[in-house]
Amino acid sequence: MKNLIIGLLSIGTVMSINAQTEIMKTSEVKKTQKVTNQGVSYNTKVKVITKKTKEKKLDPNQKHLLNQNLVGTPVTVEKTIMIDNDLDPLYDTKTKVKYFKYKGVKYDFLFNEENVLITYTLNDKTITSARMVKSVNNNFYFVEGKDFNGVGYYNKEGDFVIEYNNNISNKSEQVVFETHKM
């Protein structure tokens, strides 16, 4: 009986933890046929995994009520793009993309093994704003580019913050790239 009660309590705990965040994953694979210079036919494929995460938050004004309303929270969108373009069955490159907004403009953060590129689109042209390199202790990024030179990190809301020295005012400033809301 004691084991049954402990088992039911642990199931309730797992359910309450999972109920705090909604996660939706979709996966899409596109295949094409290619031929080598020697005439050998092989398949190439691109796999895109889209993960949308939304945290569930209750209305703080109703904290003493039994049936509380949910408050709208941003949806974090993350795409992983894997490319296989040779004869072996393994994927050759892997890039992760996270989407943020700053001053009403959508920014793409392109993560690969070495660094992160911050890009945005202007007049159907992709512009690289900055490049980031992760620090040795993995707590922050070194950011350098034409728009920002400084240090970047994630805040507790999941937004990306860059602290930099403004050369015109000679003061430290910060910009916040907000989680892209869907």
Listed by start position, the domains of the chain span 22-179
Cα torsion through 59, 64, 65, 67, rounded to 10: 50
Above 90 in pLDDT, residue 162? yes
What percentage of the chain exceeds 70 in pLDDT?
A: 88
Cα torsion through 27, 134, 142, 74, rounded to 10: 40
Task: Report the pLDDT value the prediction gives residue 180, as an integer from 0 to 100.
Answer: 64
Above 80 in pLDDT, residue 124? yes
Q: How confident is the model at residue 122 (pLDDT cuts 50, 70, 90)?
A: confident
Provide DSSP, 65-96: SSSPPEEP-PEEEEEEEEEE-SSSSS--EEEE
Q: Which of 62-76, 104-118, 133-147 has the lowest mean pLDDT?
A: 62-76
Specify the higher pLDDT residue, 160 or 17: 160
Place of tokens 């031929």: 35
Q: Which residue type is seen at 119? A: T
What percentage of the chain exceeds 90 in pLDDT?
A: 12
Above 60 in pLDDT, residue 3? no
Task: Report the pLDDT value the prediction gives residue 86, as an integer from 0 to 100.
Answer: 79
Q: How confident is the model at residue 161 (pLDDT cuts 50, 70, 90)?
A: very high
Q: How confident is the model at residue 163 (pLDDT cuts 50, 70, 90)?
A: very high
Q: How confident is the model at residue 13 (pLDDT cuts 50, 70, 90)?
A: very low
Above 60 in pLDDT, residue 179? yes
Above 60 in pLDDT, residue 129? yes
Task: Report the pLDDT value the prediction gives residue 66, as an integer from 0 to 100.
Answer: 85
Task: Report the pLDDT value the prediction gives residue 176, as an integer from 0 to 100.
Answer: 92
Task: Report the pLDDT value the prediction gives residue 156, as an integer from 0 to 100.
Answer: 84
